[in-house]
Amino acid sequence: MKTIILLSLVFMAMGTQATSIDEQLKALIETNNLQPLNKAPRAKIEIIRLGQRLFSDRKLSGNRDITCMHCHHPALGTSDNLPLPIGAGGEGLGQNRRQLGAKIIPRNSPALINLGYTEITDMFWDGRVSHDPKTGELQTPEPALNGKNPKASHITKYLTSSLAAQVIFPITSKEEMRGFENNELASLNSNLEIWNKVMHRLINGEQATFYQDLFSKAFPEIKNHKDFNIGHVGNALAAFISYNFNLVNTPYDRYLRGDVHAMNEPEKKGLKVFLTRGKCVNCHAGKHLSNFEYKTTGTPQIAVLGSDKIDDRGRFDVTGVKRDLYKFRTPPLRNIVLTAPYMHTGVFKDLTGVIEHYDNVKKSMREFKVTDEIQSLYDEKIVLDTDAKRNKLRFQLMSIGELRKGLKLTKSEKDNLLIFLRDALSDDRIKSNSEILSQEKL
């Protein structure tokens, strides 16, 4: 409502300068309760500094061969620019990364932009990590962290957001960071053992004095070094991610705050398509341009030849509820131009591909092929799920009926929608400085 009052006052003050498209958008903004996104709360600088160091430290991985940055690189929009990530054992970054025996991770690497908000309660494409900001309770793949009275309460005390809980799980995955052999983490049998061993590396390893100092400054209430735990790691990583990748000064946000000149005419027309014929707002709503619900979108499913993830059932594998079959978490959209390729399988290399998919999902599913461009990124064979029964379900389970019928957008509507997504949702610092996502000096 505050946004609508602001826009109304501005339009009244500017008289004829507020155009017909502005008046149309005013009504649509009110109907859809769109709001600008304010900057995320910032943790104290000592915690952010610790998180910055951990984000780029190979000691979090079993064989010390991969960091958080390999799949979430600042120069690659906090993702990795690959359809499917290449995990522990690979070498290189982005599309220059090579497998060399590493495993291919079955889902696209999500971007880390604007995740430091308590209202974002679920993480991962399937939502297997969640945090209730009212009760502080977690639900995760590790039972010791879950519920009202968690067994590992000394850890959960510091996992104060879904992001803080999420970031400690790639460490436990053999495919992602732990590795399969030749390190002391690979043979451990529980997440708690793995996390304890990682803490031993940090606090008692070759950089013990350095890390003891960083942890002590970040969490001065801890008087004995042996009492630092993986919860402190999660808290610090989340603090750094929230601070460093918080990009909210977009033309769209300034427009919602009342600057009718913040967006140009094509961007405004694109927003109108977004809110009307494009049906985008059905899922990409609210402050974050996501309702963070789980949706079936008819996305072509790819996987490594022989992998059971050729039938990736998404949220269903977490809940076991039939209505969650083939559903995946709706991502937020600010700065989306940075984070290609798109969808949970990374099958669309640009936003044009995403728009064309949603315009005619049936055609997209029928005509999609694993291109030579995709295959060239991997040593293993990448295949498309062509199972007719599964693909029929993926199509029929889409919750937005118009997507099954086809949107039938005009070329002009598609062009304007692309301009809105690409330009109006991008923080101005991105446009003026290509290095803005490099890690800031703290």
- Looking at the predicted structure, is the pLDDT value of residue 1 above 60? no
pLDDT at 5: 55
| Torsion angles phi and psi, residue 383, rounded to 5 | -125, 160
HSE at residue 423, side-chain half, CA atoms within 13 A, is 16
Q: Would you state the pLDDT for residue 4?
A: 54
Residue that has been written with the tokens 């040593």 in this structure:
379
Q: How far is CA 68 from CA 103, 109, 176, 288, 308, in A?
A: 16, 11, 10, 24, 26
Supply the DSSP string of 402-435, one letter for each residue.
HHHH-----HHHHHHHHHIIIIITS-HHHHH-TT
What CATH number was assigned to the domain covering residues 2-37+249-429? 1.10.760.10
Domain with CATH 1.10.760.10 in the chain: 2-37+249-429, 45-244
DSSP string, 175-210: IIII-SSSSTTTT--SHHHHHHHHHHHHHHSTTHHH
**pLDDT > 90? residue 343:** yes
Percent of the chain with pLDDT strictly greater than 70: 93
Q: How confident is the model at residue 16 (pLDDT cuts 50, 70, 90)?
A: very low
Q: What is the pLDDT of residues 230-253, one digit of tens each?
A: 999 999 999 999 999 999 999 999
Dist. CA 330–CA 342, nearest whole Å:
12
Distance of alpha carbon 286 from its chain centroid, rounded? 16
Instruction: Render pLDDT for 28-64 as a digit per residue (tens, 0 to 9).
Output: 999 999 999 999 999 999 999 999 999 999 999 999 9
pLDDT in tens, 68-92: 999 999 999 999 999 999 999 999 9
Residue 432 pLDDT: 56
| Mean pLDDT over each residue of the chain, to the nearest integer | 95
Q: Supply the pLDDT for residue 7.
A: 57
Q: What's residue 441's pLDDT?
A: 52
What is the average pLDDT across 302-312? 98
CATH architecture type of domain 45-244: Orthogonal Bundle (1.10)
pLDDT exceeds cutoff 80 at 430? no
Under the banding of pLDDT at 50, 70 and 90, the label for residue 13 is: very low
Nearest to residue 343, comparing CAs of 323, 327, 325, 360?
327
275: how many CB neighbours lie within 10 A of its CB?
23
Q: Which strand (E) or helix (H) includes residue 139? A: strand 138-139
CB 281 within 8 A of CB 358: no
Q: What pLDDT is attached to residue 397? A: 96
Asked if the model's pLDDT at residue 296 lies above 70, the reply is yes
Within a 10 A sphere around the Cβ of 190, how many other Cβ atoms?
11
Token digits of residue 181: 């052999």
In the numeric block, which tokens belong to residue 121? 């309660």
Average pLDDT estimate for 346-363: 98
More confident residue, 267 or 5: 267
pLDDT digits (tens, 9 = 90+) for 188-219: 999 999 999 999 999 999 999 999 999 999 99
Alpha carbon of residue 73 to chain centroid: 13
Other C-beta atoms lying within 10 Å of the C-beta of residue 290: 18
Alpha helix ranges (H) inside 295-400: 316-319, 351-359, 361-367, 372-375, 388-396
Contact 314, 294 (CB under 8 A): yes
